[in-house]
Amino acid sequence: MIDLDRHSGLDSPVHRLEPRSRLLGFAALIASFAVVRNPVLLAPMLGLAAAAVVASRLPWEFVARRLRAPMVLVLVLGVVLVLASGGEVLARLGPLAIHADGLAQVGVIAAKLAAIGAVALVLFGTAPLPTTVVAMRRLGLPSLIADMIVFSFRAFHQIGVDLKTMRTAAGMRGVRWQHRRSGAPSRLGTLARMVGSLFVISHARAEQAHRAMLLRGYSGSAPLGPARPVDPASAAFVVLSVAIAVGLVVAEWQLGVAG
Amino acid sequence: MTHATDSGSGARTHLEVRDLEVSYSERVQVLRGVSFDVAEGERVGVVGPNGAGKTTLFLALSGVVTPAAGTIRIDGEAVRPGRFRQDVGLVFQNPDHQLFCPTVEEDVAFGPRNLSLAPDMVSARVAAALAETGVTELSDRAPHHLSGGEKRMCSIATVLALEPRLMIYDEPSASLDIRSRRRLIQFLLASPATALVASHDLELVLEVCPRTIVVDDGRIVADGPSREIMDDVALMERHGLERPHSLVPHVVPHHHHHH
Amino acid sequence: MHIPDGILPGGVCAAGYLAAGAATALSLAVVRRQADPHQVVPKASTLTAVFFVASWIHVPIPPASVHLVLNGLLGVVLGPFAFLAILVGLFFQAVLFQHGGLTTLGVNATIMGVPALVVGALFGLGARLWVRSSRWAAVFGFVGGSLATVLSALGFAVVLVTTVPAALDPSLRSTGVTALTIAHLPLAAVEGVFTAMVVLFLRKVQPDLLHGWRR
């Protein structure tokens, strides 16, 4: 799970960016990718995403592995689109018709997903999550939400282990988790009680942790402390990324108007 | 290094482990060739520093974890991983992982119910387990709000209800107060089951287990009568342990008395 | 019911963020009115973590096996905090697992979070007006769990059908919405049952964890 942080300690131009700048620049790019729709812009969009991955020195294997699941999902949706979207028919496979419109749409969707997913990985995989959350707070994220992100992040590893151990222990008392044929309702009941128990014990643990924090002077959000000054490279990155993002949006608009 | 224990009465071998190796991935080998026998009714302490592999050993004996090499035989029959074995009971380190029902009675009944036993048999088993662990008066309480000692005995009851002949205890006395710990020791001494007891509480091991196995770095480094092993100061310190205070010769007064 | 990146037009994503922003502001306002929101943050965060972990539970609903959404359960336990918890949970799912999407975070949060708030409010109201018997707890739990799923499925269907296949005949749209929503009914039933079971459990073991049940 915390696999995402695995490469956050590398050294690359992206890793060295000031956190708020990195967040702003890549967020602008991601937002502009969401707007892109015209096939002409797909290549530049993918090129930018690839450039980001290269600049971050994140392993391609890492990016590919993480994008595999959502791509599969989208391709499944794509099959529906290709077969059902109406419009010009490219070919026929027996009773099924392959529509050009659907095919084009699938291409656009897949490209956008890949580009957005890759840049998101670059944004969140090049720094530990708490660092990125601090940057978000400095940029206006309410401190209550920032705290929830940090505390949940810390808690869910332990809770994941708790649930897994509970299931193992229950398996050792006769629950057949993998059994397909029968017993599903009782398994659901067992899981419901485990989830309920997790609520109860995690709540108790959280109260203890909160008490410990109060004893160490926590009275609300942790004070932020001075921000790292924005260096010229980071400033340039933000300006450049926002400019490219705006450019993409304008291009999409113009192409939409013209086409 | 390995002292075979003379079980005297010629009791049958209950558990036989040969050359057990367990790895969690290609590089991390947790158990590197562990071999030992346990006779019927014997109580064996398992001690060693954290990370030595004790919990992994127990998970392998319970059939939860698949060994990379070696064999485990219980009553002569090989343990096949992944199959539920009702004759081995593992008491987990954290009782919260084994207590998740709204009442203690339901938790203890959980195992027998999964065995599809008749309701009156289930009640009989529950009553017996609650009596043996001395928690009959807690049967209507919610386990989540019980004290550490009460939770510990209840979690043992949930395992006993399946009537396993081999009981494995992973750190049973952790966080117990004096009275609960004494109750646990009395219970262990009275229990007829074959038992493996892993504990940092060396005094408990001394009291309860005539034989002790020392595990370090995935290997058994000593196996013999508990007093002999724990009196071997050099051996204990070499493996991150300490000679229990009760074995320190009280010939020269070394307690500091404040006048 | 997570909509991945790349499918929705940019305008819809922006609208989703606006809606989520409004719901967030509303939730924050309600939460801050409570005595000390920072007392509740540790509790809400661990419950968010439990929701996140629990949502990986597979339930076999032939022909496939699906993850539970549990937004109804979250509403029932956290009340107004539920939207924030779902927002945070979805953020993690998108960032850590690439499940759902970042550009669609606003849309997904609205689709799953607003029903949670509705259910939470209903449940809290029920706690005040009705006897807290196990029967009513089960009923409210079941209704809460299934209603949240149905509302989310409806939102999901409407968003997808109206924005995705631009070439789809408009007359087919209502059929599409109906079909997609009906497809989620088995899941809604399972979520209803599951939520009822957890509510009954908490009622026995620690009722003050249920929204509106604090004495």
- In tens, the pLDDT along B94-121 reads 999 999 999 999 999 999 998 888 999 9
pLDDT in tens, B119-154: 999 999 999 999 999 999 999 999 999 999 999 999
Of A57-61, B3-7, C9-13, the least confident: B3-7
Q: Tell me the one-letter amino acid at A102.
A: G
Residue A226: what pLDDT?
82
Torsion, CA C49, CA C114, CA C107, CA A142, rounded to 10: -60
Question: Is B97:A162 a contact under the CB 8 Å cutoff?
Answer: yes
The single-letter DSSP state of residue B2 is B
Residue B84: its chain A contacts at CB < 8 A?
171-172, 174, 176
Q: Detail the DSSP E strand segments found in chain B.
A: 13-23, 29-39, 43-47, 69-74, 77-78, 88-91, 166-170, 194-198, 211-216, 219-225
| Buried-state track B200-230, b at ≥16 Cβ within 10 A, e below 16 | ebbbbbbbbbebbbbbbbbbbbbbbebeebb
Along the 215 residues of chain C, how does pLDDT read in single tens digits? 788 888 888 889 999 999 999 999 999 998 888 767 777 787 788 888 988 888 887 777 666 677 888 999 999 998 888 999 999 999 998 998 888 889 999 999 999 999 999 999 998 888 887 777 888 889 999 999 999 999 999 999 889 888 865 555 666 777 878 888 888 899 999 999 999 999 999 999 999 888 887 65
Name the CA dihedral angle for A123, A129, A134, A140, rounded to a multiple of 10 degrees.
Answer: 60
Q: Dihedral of CA A195/A197/A203/A209: which sign?
A: negative
**Mean local confidence (pLDDT), A112-127:** 93
Among A228-242, B46-60, C16-30, C49-63, which is the least confidently predicted range?
C49-63
Average pLDDT over all residues of chain B: 89
Chains in contact with B, where contact means 3 or more Cβ–Cβ distances below 8 Å, are A, C
Q: What is the pLDDT of residues A133-165, one digit of tens each?
A: 999 999 999 988 998 898 888 888 889 899 999
Q: What residues in B contact A170, CB-CB < 8 Å?
A: 100, 110
Residue A1 predicted with pLDDT over 50: no
Query: How much is the ipTM here?
Result: 0.89
Q: For residues A75 and A122, is the Cβ–Cβ distance under 8 A? A: no
Minimal CA separation from B258 to chain A, in Å: 34
Q: Which carries the bigger pLDDT value, residue B213 or residue A89?
A: B213
In the structure, what pLDDT confidence band is assigned to residue B254 with cuts at 50, 70 and 90?
low
Q: Compute how many other C-beta atoms are within 10 angstroms of the C-beta atom of residue A244.
A: 16
- In this prediction, residues A231-248 reach a mean pLDDT of 93
Whether the pLDDT of residue B9 is over 60: the answer is no
Query: What was the pLDDT predicted at B5?
Result: 46
Give the pLDDT of residue C90: 92
B97 contacts chain A (CB < 8 A): yes
Q: How far apart are CA C83 and CA C121, in angstroms?
A: 12
Is A14 a residue whose pLDDT tops 80?
Answer: yes
Segment of A8-22, B76-90, C152-166, C196-210 carrying the highest mean pLDDT: C196-210
Q: Is the pTM of this model over 0.90?
A: no
CB distance B97–A171 less than 8 Å? no
pLDDT at residue B3 above 70?
Answer: no
What percent of chain A stands above pLDDT 90? 40
Would you call A112 and C6 a contact, using CB atoms and an 8 Å cutoff? yes
What pLDDT is stored for residue C105 in this prediction? 95
Q: Is C98's CB within 8 Å of A196's CB?
A: no
Q: Are A189 and B114 in contact (CB under 8 A)?
A: no
Tell me, yes or no, if B140 comes closer than 8 A to chain C by beta carbon.
Answer: no
